[in-house]
Structure 1
Amino acid sequence: MKTISQPTVSTKIMSLEWGRIIALIAIITIHAKPFSTTPLFNGEPWLSLVLNQAGRFAVPLFFLLAGYFIAPKLISAPLQTLKRYSLPLLKVWFFWSIIYLLAPYNLTLLLEQGYLAEREGYWQFLLSTPLNTLFEGGLVHLWYVPALICATAIIAVLNQYQKVALLLPIAIILYMYGLAAGSYQPIFGLEAPIFTRNGPFFSCLLVAIGFEIRRVNWRCKFNIAMLMAVLGMAMHFTEARYLLHYDMPFNTHDFLIGTPIWAVGLFMMLLKKPNFGGKRTVIRNSILHTSKDVLGVYLIHLLIIIYVFNIATMLSIESIWLDIMIVPLVFFLSLLITRGIERTPLRHLLLR
């Protein structure tokens, strides 16, 4: 088995820390859906739709980062690393799932008809697809955690039995199946037992590429990486536009053929500029302090979005102001709550 050909990273790579934060903001934008009612172009909120797809590099970038940073430990102690890595993630996923199962989402309905009336419909929805719920959790965005664990498990097992050469072929097959039974389902007609964004179908390829980039020290010139990112993004948008012909909404695609190329290009660009944003001590410290809270903000942000929209509706706040303010407002509120949790005993349950 090949070993890592470069020294273990002992200091923070500033460009990658920036990448975490930018990716997190992109995910908040996807979930907050700003400008979904105005402006309209030919009767469609194309600004909102484009913003939605423009953020689709974010989760793939997180997967790449995870694979890159866990690679040394997976190589030296595969199964032990899998256990140490997965159990804290499963704990966090479980307790946040409980929170999202119990927390009411429609405050108006809660006030008018009571707690059980508000929750019962959601619980029934989750029970109607139990297998998918198992790979997702209490709310849709929690799918990331089981997907990451699935990908890590595959890499760990292949490393344990010295079959790492099979990693990328297996990951590519899973990805192709995920596409054929997901965004390309109207063309190929394949059915999957779960929504293929969940589980290992897409996560395995991205985590595996991050792992391989670290294991064999893959590098390329900045201009080539930038070309890769632009090409991948252009492919992703072209595919999303093409799939409109098959009645697939433009803003529903998490992963397409071009998405990994886009994300890998961005990742390689970040690797070529490791000191990006780290020259000024104040900015550097601020980014490092914020990047450590990325998982906490990710876990809580969707509940904050739900409540902000609930309160905005109650207060009749104009949508244009909410569209402008929603992303920074949710980011900073989620960050403050995450840091508040860090100061309480709940940090052992809700934060990794």
Structure 2
Amino acid sequence: MDSSPNDCNAIASFYGVTGRNLQSQYKDFLSDFKAWDQKSHAKKWLLFAKNIGKYLSIDETSLSNGELYTILTSKSGKGRKGTIVAMIAGTKAETVISVIEKIPLKQRSLVKEITLDMAGNMGLIARKCFPNAIRVTDRFHVQKLAIEALQEIRIKYRWEAIDQENDAMEKSKKSKENFQSKTLSNGDTLKQLLARSRYFLYKNKSKWTESQIERAALLFELYPDIQKAYNLTQELRGIFENTTDKIIGFAKLAKWHEKVNQSGFKSFNTISRTITNHYQTILNYFDNRSTNASAESFNAKIKAFRAQFRGVRNIEFFLYRLTNIYA
């Protein structure tokens, strides 16, 4: 139990006791939880300076009840022992900086690169705490903004389709006629087409099924704006996936910005401005193609681990178990 994320209920079943009882016995007698050197401040912050490496990631995650923690992880840990460098309650830059600065500057100065999202507090933390590190904006956060802009356009048309159907139904009631929604060649109504299109718009065309190909053809014929927005989203993804040179990446992003300006989509113009404001750290991606994927994956592990502790109110004990495995 000290070194792996085992479920207490599963272990307890072998010994004919309840998981709650086993967990209580482990916490109070079998483990060294009561003598844990970080117990007094665990709710506020945890620090494992020995785990700091040359390549780090910083992100935020929710442990319970929507409470956010800022987590600094070492990529050399590969999601196993030695991964957690720091966990700090909240996302306030000043608080996080004050904890990380407990690590000697000499150690922090050895960090070469840190990946992060586009949040201003994360940028400030990285800049203040790791003065020699190159900051790399996670390209998946950039792509996510484009996908959200695309879905916003789809949703706008879906609400219009719902309004049109409601108007037609009310008109039929007044004229005492039976209402029947018009169906398209694939069997979808207009409202269904726009709802069911959500899933394939996340994917590249090469990964569409036959029914999705048919649905996409109908969608793009009826709503050219959605096709234009989809193409912009896929082109942005292609720039990150297929470009290995920073200068070429810069040129391709500039061309993409021009297409966005010509499209007239307000949401995509917002993304374009956001990219412009983070140009340097976004372009740093093309040096080593570093992303925050390791941090996102680790966040998923934390949430899965937390699920095993459902009903356990002692957050310090949860953090103790977590750090025994990953710190």
TM-score range for the pair, normalised by the shorter chain length: under 0.3
Higher helix share: 1
Largest Rg, 1 or 2: 2
Q: TM-score, normalised by structure 1?
A: 0.23
Structure with greater contact order relative to length (CA < 8 Å, sep ≥ 6): 1
TM-score (norm 2): 0.25
